[in-house]
């Protein structure tokens, strides 16, 4: 449950859709099946999920505040309430709960803050410096991929939608949010 939720939240805050979202979705489906077999309390699951939602809200607000405290408390209380404290063979270890809380806080506070800030639009001064700069394709642009420009790796999209191979030289035409729009750089003889 926790791993699936963390992967889905990570996917929500990064551009595109990929492996993290699909893997998280599959883990959540496996969790749903597991809860049909195990004697889980739905109230505990609801409180645990509310805690995860509050942690996600905190990341979206780009601040460590009241939702972090409430989300962490909800996460812990929900974990403790998830399985009954009866003679049932299924019980969550306090160590496992502590590890899951620590892993979630590490994921939500520093990691997701960095991911969220990386999505902010590029400053106007940086845009002016990058337009016209040359770079090199580092992953196939079909039409999106990554390029190395001015010593930094950037997400990029081919200006005309053409496929560009790794190693090709490109020039930055413009910037769309946090994605560089690039075109093939021309050599001195006028050919690509």
Cβ(183)–Cβ(173) under 8 Å? yes
Q: Tens-of-pLDDT digits for all 192 residues of the chain?
A: 778 887 887 777 776 667 888 888 898 899 888 888 877 788 988 998 898 888 778 777 766 678 888 888 888 888 888 877 655 666 677 788 888 888 877 777 777 666 666 666 666 666 678 888 999 999 888 888 889 888 888 889 999 888 999 999 999 999 887 788 999 987 444 444
What single DSSP character describes residue 90? -
Cβ(74)–Cβ(48) under 8 Å? yes
pTM reported for the whole predicted model: 0.53
50: exposed, middle or buried (Cβ count in 10 Å: 0-12, 13-18, 19+): middle
Final residue before a domain boundary, out of 118, 150, 174: 118
Co-location of 11 and 49 in the same domain? yes
Indicate the Cα dihedral angle 89, 94, 99, 104, nearest 10°.
Answer: 90
Is residue 136 assigned to a domain?
Answer: yes
Co-location of 110 and 137 in the same domain? no
- Range(s) of the domain holding residue 143: 124-184
Co-location of 24 and 114 in the same domain? yes
Domain total of the chain: 2
Co-location of 142 and 164 in the same domain? yes
Q: How far apart are CA 190 and CA 192, in angstroms?
A: 7
Cβ(134)–Cβ(169) under 8 Å? yes
Final residue before a domain boundary, out of 118, 145, 166: 118
Q: How many CB atoms lie within 10 A of CB 70?
A: 16
Co-location of 9 and 103 in the same domain? yes
Return the closest-CA partner of residue 6 out of 47, 40, 55, 66.
55
Is residue 190 assigned to a domain?
Answer: no
Is residue 24 assigned to a domain?
Answer: yes
């Amino acid at each position: 449950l926790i791993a699936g939720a963390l992967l889905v939240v990570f996917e929500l805050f990064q551009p595109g859709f990929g492996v993290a979202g699909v893997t998280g979705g599959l883990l959540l489906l496996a969790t749903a099946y597991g809860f049909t077999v195990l004697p889980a309390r739905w109230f505990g699951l609801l409180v645990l999920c509310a805690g995860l939602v509050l942690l996600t809200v905190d990341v979206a607000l780009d601040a460590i505040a009241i939702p972090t405290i409430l989300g962490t408390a909800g996460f812990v209380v929900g974990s403790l309430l998830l399985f009954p404290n009866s003679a049932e063979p299924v019980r969550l270890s306090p160590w496992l709960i502590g590890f899951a809380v620590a892993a979630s806080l590490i994921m939500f506070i520093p990691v997701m803050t960095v991911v969220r800030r990386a999505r902010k639009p590029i400053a106007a001064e940086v845009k002016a410096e990058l337009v016209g700069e040359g770079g090199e394709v580092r992953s196939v642009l079909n039409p999106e991929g990554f390029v190395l420009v001015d010593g930094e790796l950037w997400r990029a999209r081919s200006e005309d939608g053409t496929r560009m191979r790794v190693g090709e030289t490109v020039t930055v035409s413009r910037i769309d949010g946090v994605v560089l729009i690039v075109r093939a750089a021309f050599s001195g003889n006028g050919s690509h």
